[in-house]
């Protein structure tokens, strides 16, 4: 009975935490973490890591394979939260070149974000380098600041180019790193240079 009585207070805390996260959301996701290969029907992907963008920020991604070539997932990137989809036009699971289209959208400050672009990768044994080129649109409902960054209210569009790689230590586990470069108007006053991510991937 004591656990049941404490449930409302825990629920309130979770709602407040979620509200704080969403209130601090801005930008489209700073990380990409996409290869050209899809998971495969019924398979699950978990990805997590830390991105250096003024300070160390956590990132997380959950996805599931809806078909051999189509993935759908949830993405949390410290400054954003939303859904994404990926469709592999060329999907070489074991080795070789793969090409996919990615698109996503989610919550930003008083508005939202959307992005789309291609993801290319080449699997060569345990190594899988990848490249992602993404067009982003963001809308900030109000001027604010968070985690050492400040942004101005308005609508902005910019390109993001990501070069990275995965070292697969097993069939379902890998370590990855990537660097992203930005071109265009982000609306961020303190955003200078590239962002760097280090993380891990799990497939099952």
Q: Give the model's pLDDT for residue 195.
A: 87
- Smallest CA-to-CA distance from 199 within 21, 17, 33, 40 is with 33
Residues whose CB falls within 8 Å of the CB of residue 3, separated by 6 or more in sequence, listed in order: none
β-pair partners for 61: 47, 75
Q: Give the model's pLDDT for residue 123.
A: 96
Q: What angle is formed at CA 23 by the lines to CA 31 and CA 44, rounded to 5 degrees?
A: 40
β-pair partners for 183: 159
Number of domains in the chain: 1
CATH number for 164: 2.40.160.20
Quote the domain boundaries for residue 144: 2-203
Q: What is the CA radius of gyration of the chain?
A: 18
What are the mean pLDDT values of the chain's consecutive 10-residue runs (204 residues total)?
A: 44 41 58 94 95 81 96 87 96 96 86 93 97 92 61 83 96 94 71 82 94
């Amino acid at each position: 009975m004591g656990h049941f009585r404490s449930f409302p207070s825990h629920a309130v805390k979770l709602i407040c935490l979620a509200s704080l996260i969403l209130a601090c959301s801005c930008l489209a996701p700073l990380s990409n973490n996409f290869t050209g290969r899809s998971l495969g029907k019924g398979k699950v992907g978990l990805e997590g890591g830390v991105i250096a963008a003024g300070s160390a920020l956590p990132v997380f991604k959950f996805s599931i394979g809806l078909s051999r070539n189509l993935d759908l997932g949830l993405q949390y990137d410290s400054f954003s939260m939303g859904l994404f989809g990926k469709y592999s036009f060329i999907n070489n699971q074991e080795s070789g070149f793969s090409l996919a289209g990615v698109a996503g959208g989610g919550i930003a400050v008083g508005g939202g974000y959307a992005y789309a672009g291609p993801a290319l990768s080449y699997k060569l044994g345990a190594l899988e380098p990848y490249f992602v080129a993404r067009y982003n649109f963001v809308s900030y409902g109000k001027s604010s600041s968070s985690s050492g960054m400040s942004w101005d209210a308005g609508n902005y569009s910019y390109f993001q180019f990501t070069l990275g790689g995965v070292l697969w230590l097993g069939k379902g586990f890998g370590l990855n790193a990537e660097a992203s470069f930005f071109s265009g108007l982000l609306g961020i006053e303190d955003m200078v240079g590239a962002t760097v991510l280090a993380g891990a991937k799990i497939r099952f």
